[in-house]
Amino acid sequence: MLLSWLNILAGGVLIGIVYALIGSGLTIMFGVMRVVNFAHGEMVVAGMYMGYFAHSLLGLPAPLAAIIAAVVMFAFGYLLQRLLVEKFMARPQHIQFILFIGIALVITGLHLAIFGPDAHAVDGPITFATISLGPLSLDLVRVQAAGGAAVLILSLVLFLRLAPLGQAMRAAADNRTGSLVIGLNVPRICALASGIGAACAGAAGALISPVFDTEPYLGLEFTLIAFVTVIVGGLGSLAGALVGGVLIGLAEASAALAIDPQLKTAFSYGLLLLVLLLRPRGLFGADAG
């Protein structure tokens, strides 16, 4: 009994790490661009399709597919910012909201038009494989997804801390006028942030493609999960996204255990509500508003 509980909770943590990667993308875009990407979930779904086809056509495992998805989605995010979103940076929030709803609709429509409305499930022996970790027995695809996500989050943190470009991004996130003054190319940094955000979403999608069935309409659900993750952690904070993701994964798993699997999303929204009210800027958000 206790063991199966632990198994389910561990599974929740593993998915939570992938949520953290999705949230990291959203949080980087918000931190640097001050724009909320309402099409984030659709970008995750795009990554899921890439993961699915990399597996079924090329036989690639999810972590390799994730690299392809990250590269493709980086280009997509970069160009999207340069060609479209850039023109809306100074517009009010509700206009940006409509812009991203429009982008989300176009992405969903493209998925529908190209892949059809049916669910695509990765199959094969890997989906049933488990690995044992001490007393725990974990789904291989989940471990693989969490591992891939952890590596990507870690490299993202290293990039932001150590690489000059990453440091420039953090400077731009901290102080926009200041970074303009010291001569940072802010539009290019925004495009990079947009690319990295989309790459996180795409890679996460590819990583979870063997875990969840891929369908065009999943986008909104992932967007909402990403919101909950980053708001719990604090919009704009990477550490927050990590903690938020794991907390949401845990909350979903324990809700499924303790109450009813159907209510797991209600549980994570409850967690979100609690955090919003106790710490309006999230667990790791800056207090000054």
Partner 1 sequence: MQVDRRLGWIAGAALFAGCAIAAPWLDGFTMSLLTLVFLFAWFGQASNLAMGFTGQLSLGHALFAGLGGYAVVIITTRYGLSPWFGLLIGMPIAAAAGAAIGWLAFRFGVRDVYFALLAIAVAEMMRVIFSNWNFVGGTGGIFLPALSPTNEPLRTLRGGALFYYAAALFLATAGTALLAWLRGARIGYLWRALRDDEAAARALGVRAPLHKILACAISAAMTALGGALYAHLNGVIFPDSMMGMALSIQIIIGPILGGLGTVFGPLVGALVVVPLGEISGTLGQSLGISGMNSIGYGLALILLIGLLPGGLWPAIVAGVQSLWRRR
Amino acid at 110: L
In the bound state with partner 1, the residue whose beta carbon lies nearer, of 137 and 265, is 265
Cα gap 51→208, rounded to integer Å = 8
Kindly state the tokens that stand for 109: 């429509």
By CB under 8 A, residue 288 contacts partner 1: no
* Contacting residues for 147 by C-beta, under 8 A, at least 6 apart: 63
For residue 264, the minimal CB distance to partner 1 (Å) is: 9
In angstroms, how far is CA 85 from the centroid of its own chain? Answer: 19
Which stretch in 8-16, 63-71, 159-167, 263-271 sits in contact with partner 1 by CB under 8 A?
263-271
Figure out which of the listed residues 22, 65, 104, 141 binds partner 1, where binding follows CB under 8 A.
104
Q: How many residues bind partner 1 (CB under 8 A)?
A: 48
Q: Between residue 76 and residue 95, which ones bind partner 1 under the rule CB under 8 A?
A: 84, 87-88, 91, 93-95
Closest CB to partner 1 among residues 149, 218? 218
Pick 108 or 144: Cβ nearer partner 1: 108
Report the C-alpha gap between 107 and 111 in whole angstroms. 6
Q: Answer yes or no: are the C-beta atoms of 79 and 178 closer than 8 Å.
A: no
Q: Which is nearer to partner 1, 151 or 224 (CB)?
A: 224
What φ, ψ does residue 20 adopt, rounded to 5°?
-60, -40
**Between residues 102 and 178, which has the closer beta carbon with respect to partner 1?**
102
CB nearer to partner 1: give 120 or 142: 120
CB of 134 to partner 1, least distance (A): 34
Distance CA 215, CA 199 (A): 19
237 burial (CB, 10 Å; 0-12 / 13-18 / 19+) is buried
Per the CB < 8 A criterion, the answer to whether 245 and 17 are in contact is yes
User: With DSSP H G I counted as helix, E B as strand and the rest as coil, what are the percentages for the chain, rounded to 5?
Assistant: 80, 5, 20
- Per CB under 8 A, the list member of 116, 124, 178, 187 interacting with partner 1 is 116
Does 112 sit near partner 1 (CB under 8 A)?
yes
> Which amino acid would we find at residue 259?
I
**Using CB under 8 A, which residues numbered 190 to 249 contact partner 1?**
216, 220, 224, 227-228, 231, 235
Nearest CA-CA partner of 205 in 83, 63, 45, 55: 45
To partner 1, the closest distance from the beta carbon of 157 in angstroms equals: 24
Q: Which residues bind partner 1 (CB under 8 A)?
A: 36, 84, 87-88, 91, 93-95, 97-99, 101-106, 108-114, 116-117, 216, 220, 224, 227-228, 231, 235, 260, 262-263, 265-266, 269-270, 272-273, 276-278, 280-281, 289
